[in-house]
Structure 1
Amino acid sequence: MTDQAEPQTSGAATEEDVVAYLKAHPEFFVGQSDLLRTLTLPHDSGRAISLVERQVHLFREQRDMLRHELGELIEIARHNDRLFEKSKRLLTQVIEARTITEMASVIDDSIRGDFGLDAASLIIFEQGTLKPDADTSAAEGALVRVNRKEAETLLGSLLEGQRAVCGQFRIDQRAFLFPQRDTPIASVALVPLRHGDLLGLFAIGSQQSGYFDESMGSMFLSYLSDTLSRLLPPLMARHSQLEPVSDRVAESR
């Protein structure tokens, strides 16, 4: 004898047919209150619930999720508002600074006070060449004057871009960016200051090793660096004119 498969009933609806039909006719249960009451679904608690109860449960879950997302958005908006006020106050003070030293002091006070970070450095490249017996770098609080060639040798590709670079950096690089510190800096946000040519660097440091990383946004640093890059040239010109005075007095003696 030859085995023969039982013929399938052509009129029987499959589960897929029912799903497709209900998707095509979402209003099917309208007016089917008796049917809705007889339909049951398993619940997390183990008991069966009606389709209406299940729908109410889903609506409540969606409501709670939307409330949570709304709360997060409100908190982000408040954080951005506080950041904007701090940034506006800092930029106003930077614009009003009359010397590079005053500018660096204002930045240092704001970064450590308003923003709660551990260190800030405004690093400018000395014009011309330094004397052979002179120190290659000099720090005056948050203002650090360095030889450009030394910075290029030590920092390399970190000076090539225009956007902020965030990370832990090498120990010698951190020491170069934040000299004369008793407590070492663990992570850094560094942005080159350009106005045509490379004028210097602006660096912010934290003692937390993971505070600054590559995924961090840099909008605030971009705003600040753009402002500094436009304010620095006249201040640097005045700075270079004032510095040689003491040298000329010493040479005349």
Structure 2
Amino acid sequence: MTATLDSSAVAAFLADNPHFFEEHAGLLGQVRLSSPLTGKAVSLQERQMEVMRDKYKALELRMSELIHLAQYNAAIANKFHAWTQGLLAARDGGDMAAAVTDGLRTHFGVPQATLRLWQLESGHEAQWYAQGVSEDARLFANSLLAPYCGSNHDFEAVRWLDDASAVASTVIIALRSNGGERAGQAFGLLIMGSPDPERFTAHMATDFLIHIGETASAALAALRAR
């Protein structure tokens, strides 16, 4: 009596004997498989070609996704480079603060952007970027360990924007010192706002926003009291 082989045993045999179909080439044309594309029976060679075409299409799609991602990252890098150039060209405190916010609007298409600073050297008290900051706002800044992204919950900081009533989503970033006696303390807030509720969401990645905050902090640190 002949023992019945299960599919696993057949698969193992073919894997261990790669020359089987070379020795029995006629079987390649006789074996018929059901095609998931047409539902018709096709030869082993035809089915193998279908599998290879599917793999090729999947690779093409993945390559297209990688190219799109690379183009997106390059565009972001170019915008960041242009923004940074504007910061380097700023000559004084007012120019620097304006370069930060104007650059965000110009290069990144942010509808509204502003900032507020404190613990500044004398002479900055009358500037727009040093006005209207409450103690609560300073406490909020110190508690903000990562950029806030999401809906506008009538934050005091959002009210500093030119048209706060139109802001549906916002980004709030604490500006922090990197050295000295008050290292790590917030000395300002950077705020961005949009009328689009989906522009800034709680689910968006914040890595790039962290870089913006760190760069703005380094640029504006020169305004701080020594």
After superposition, residues 115-134 of structure 1 pair within 5 angstroms as: 115-125=108-118
Deviation at 1:10, TM superposition (A): 7.1
CA deviations 1:210-244 (Å, max 9, x no partner) are 22223322333222222222232322449xxxxxx
After superposition, residues 18-167 of structure 1 pair within 5 angstroms as: 18-43=10-35, 44-125=37-118, 140=128, 143=129, 145-152=131-138, 156=140, 159-167=142-150
| Residues 58-67 or 144-153, more deviating | 144-153
Question: Are the counterparts in 2 of residues 193 and 225 from structure 1 also a CA contact under 8 Å?
Answer: yes
Q: Residues 220 and 213 from structure 1, CA distance in 2 versus in 1: closer, same or farther, beyond 3 angstroms?
A: same
Provide the identity percentage: 26
Higher RCO (CA-CA < 8 Å; seq separation 6+): 2
Q: Distance in 1 between matches of 2:118 and 2:67?
A: 43
Which residues of structure 1 form unaligned runs of 5+? 1-8, 129-137, 239-253
Q: Does 1:11 align with 2:3?
A: yes
Deviation at 1:200, TM superposition (A): 0.7
Q: Distance in 1 between matches of 2:87 and 2:174?
A: 17
Deviation at 1:144, TM superposition (A): 6.0
Q: Distance in 2 between matches of 1:127 and 1:102?
A: 15
Give me the TM-score of the superposition, normalised by structure 2: 0.81
The residue that corresponds to 2:188 in the other structure is 200
Question: Aligned pairs, how many?
Answer: 216
Deviation at 1:182, TM superposition (A): 6.5
Give me the TM-score of the superposition, normalised by structure 1: 0.73
Q: Distance in 1 between matches of 2:203 and 2:114?
A: 22
Which residues of structure 2 form unaligned runs of 5+? 178-182
The residue that corresponds to 1:188 in the other structure is 170
Q: Does 1:218 align with 2:172?
A: no
Deviation at 1:86, TM superposition (A): 1.2
CA deviations 1:122-145 (Å, max 9, x no partner) are 2213669xxxxxxxxx994xx463
Q: Distance in 1 between matches of 2:19 and 2:170?
A: 59
| Residues 21-30 or 108-117, more deviating | 21-30
Q: Residues 98 and 50 from structure 1, CA distance in 2 versus in 1: closer, same or farther, beyond 3 angstroms?
A: same
Query: What is the Cα-based RMSD across aligned positions, in Å?
Result: 2.9
Q: Residues 57 and 139 from structure 1, CA distance in 2 versus in 1: closer, same or farther, beyond 3 angstroms?
A: farther
Larger Rg: 1
Deviation at 1:119, TM superposition (A): 1.2
**Which segments of structure 1 move beyond 4 Å, counting only runs of 4 or more?**
none
The residue that corresponds to 1:234 in the other structure is 222
Q: Distance in 2 between matches of 1:31 and 1:145?
A: 87
Question: Are the counterparts in 2 of residues 165 and 189 from structure 1 also a CA contact under 8 Å?
Answer: yes
Question: Are the counterparts in 2 of residues 126 and 148 from structure 1 also a CA contact under 8 Å?
Answer: no
SS at match of 1:76: helix
Q: Distance in 1 between matches of 2:18 and 2:171?
A: 55
Q: Distance in 1 between matches of 2:20 and 2:144?
A: 62
